[in-house]
Amino acid sequence: MRKDSQFKKLELVADDYVGNADPVVELLARRKALLQRPVLVRETLTERAP
């Protein structure tokens, strides 16, 4: 997302989106063109069965 020309065009600051998923999700919900790949998180690594 940070390397996208739209990110630069909108004058977004990458540091505003590092370490906190909520602003990223909100931004991608508003600006779907910034989503370069679909992302789906279903479980964490610690929840996986061996």
Q: What is the pLDDT of residues 32-50, one digit of tens each?
A: 877 777 666 776 666 555 5
CB-based burial of residue 9 (10 Å sphere; 0-12 exposed, 13-18 middle, 19+ buried)?
exposed
What is the share, in percent, of the chain residues with pLDDT greater than 70? 66
Residue 15 scores a pLDDT above 70? yes
CB proximity list for 35: less than 8 A, separation 6 or greater: 1, 28
